[in-house]
Structures are given as structure tokens and as C-alpha cells.
Amino acid sequence: MPSIKINEIQMYYEVQGKGEPVVFISGLGGDHTVWNELLPRFTNSYRCLIFDNRGVGKTDKPKGVYSIGSFTKDVNNLMEVIGIPTAHIIGISMGGAIAQELAINYPEKVRSLILVSTWPKTDCFLREINESAITLVKKLDRTSFWREHLLWCFTPAFYESNKEKIEAVRESLSEITQPVDAFVAQIRACIDHDTLDRLDTIKSPTLIIVGDGDIITSPKFSALLKENIRDSRLTIIKGSGHSVTSQKPDRFVHEVLNFLRSHKLTSY
């Protein structure tokens, strides 16, 4: 599969399917494989771009400071180089932060925007969650880290009845290549994320999705996004935590496909 030089790093990506382009942006510590379960439900109708953010997976992992802005420039330039002038943008968690910046700074790239389990500005509680994640990343191996961190990502009820699926998610995330320093750099980029005063510049129609049991990026953050993005609507999925794409995949796909069909690209 292809790897291409973007902003002085080699960036891994895949394109699957045909139709209107949809760009999927992964969250903290995740690579392109986090979309594997959902992607077959999109590729019949859409040309899907998945990739590894800098610092994870098969993309380069440079030393130094990362920022949501640098991730955003990577996505913008990747789209340009592979010939996607505009697309529907889907971002989850950290990927949603990147998607916000893309819609703000490169509005011509964003036909529609889907923000999943994400936030506009880090508050004290979310900062402490991220600081604790840095502590765990430095002390634990990757498997042990995800065993701890996934407790924040799913609801207690889901843990009780879906132990095999949670174990599969944990194993998948544990196998992703990511050095400790790159993981910490991604977390610090999340801590510094702040688009709150610029959300009103987003012109793209926007769908905001969050689980009602999300502890990490609670529904209050999604309410802030809805309040400040003019052409937006909010869907709260009952019985889901932060990892709404894993916990409620059918509902997630249903909401997203309905939204995409309502905001077609005129050239397709």
C-alpha cells in the first residue's frame, strides 16, 4: 500500500471504494486500522481515504513537538497530493480536533463535517485525563496501557456483556507501532487543542455525534460544538461511551450515511 512524502515525513495511506470522497481521521494512538470494521459499509458508495497520522502506525514518527495544526497540514497536503480537492471529513476524538482545524483553515477541502466524540477546548478535567495518560504511557507497555485506558472508552454495561469485543479492540490497539515519545507528543497536542473562539467560521454542514456515557469527551463538549457551529446538528447516542464507533457501529453508520446522502458533492 502507498506511502508518500508529506511535509517532510513519509505518510501511509489507503484509498478504498468508488464515489464521493470521504476522509476518515483517526484518534489518539490509533492508525488506519481502527476503521476496518466500518469501512466495508462505506466503500460501495464512497471513495474512502484512511491513513496514519504522524507519530503512529506506518507513518513516520519524528521527534519533537506535535500539534493539531501540524496534523491538519498533513491531511490537507495528503488530499492535495493524491487528488482529492474536497471531501466529506469524518474525525473521531483527536481526529475530530484535526477535522475542526481542517474546516476552519481549509474550508474548500470540506464538503461536510462529521465530528465524533470530540471537543473544542480542553478543560481542567480533560487535561487531567490526558496528563494521567502520559504517566501511564511512560510507565506501562502498550498492552497494559490500553487495558487501563479502555476503561474510559466504554460503558460499564458494555464491558459486562462484550468482553470478547473489548479484548479484540485492546489487542488491535496494542499491536499498532508507536514509540512512547510519539504517543506523548500526540497527547500533548490534544491538551493544547483549542478552536472554541473560531468555530463560528466553519461553513460546512456539520453532524456532531457523541455517546451519552462518554466520560472523556462528555456531551457538554458536543453541545458547545453545536452551539458555535452554525449549520450543525447534534446526535446523542444512548448507551454509548467514548468509543461510539465500536460500541454502537450500526447506529453510527446509519446516522453518517443519512447525513452524507443529504450533502452530496455536486460533481458526483
Residue 128 CA to residue 147 CA, distance in Å, equals: 19
Q: Which 3-state string (H, E, C) describes 231-257?
A: CEEEEEECCCCCCHHHHCHHHHHHHHH
Q: Do residues 84 and 54 touch, judged by C-beta distance below 8 A?
A: no
Average pLDDT (238-250) is 98
Average pLDDT (157-168) is 95
pLDDT above 90 (res 268): no
pLDDT above 80 (res 267): no
Average pLDDT (41-69) is 98
Q: How confident is the model at residue 264 (pLDDT cuts 50, 70, 90)?
A: very high
The predicted pLDDT at position 185 comes to 98
Q: What is the pLDDT of residues 7-45, one digit of tens each?
A: 999 999 999 999 999 999 999 999 999 999 999 999 999
Domains of the chain: 3-261 (3.40.50.1820)
The predicted pLDDT at position 266 comes to 77
Residue 214 grid coordinates: 462518554
Residue 14 CA to residue 179 CA, distance in Å, equals: 22
pLDDT-above-90 percentage for the chain: 98
Average pLDDT (116-136) is 98
CA distances to 5, 110, 148 from 18, rounded to whole Å, are 24, 18, 38
pLDDT above 90 (res 86): yes
Mean pLDDT (the chain) is 97
Residue 25 parent element (H or E): strand 20-25
Chain-centroid distance of CA 122 in Å reads: 16
pLDDT above 90 (res 96): yes
Residue 50 CA to residue 48 CA, distance in Å, equals: 6
Residue 43 CA to residue 224 CA, distance in Å, equals: 32
- φ/ψ region of 19 (left if φ > 0, alpha if ψ in -120 to 50, else beta) reads left
Question: pTM of the entire structure?
Answer: 0.97
pLDDT above 90 (res 1): no
The predicted pLDDT at position 239 comes to 97
Average pLDDT (100-112) is 98
Q: What is the pLDDT of residues 186-236, one digit of tens each?
A: 999 999 999 999 999 999 999 999 999 999 999 999 999 999 999 999 999
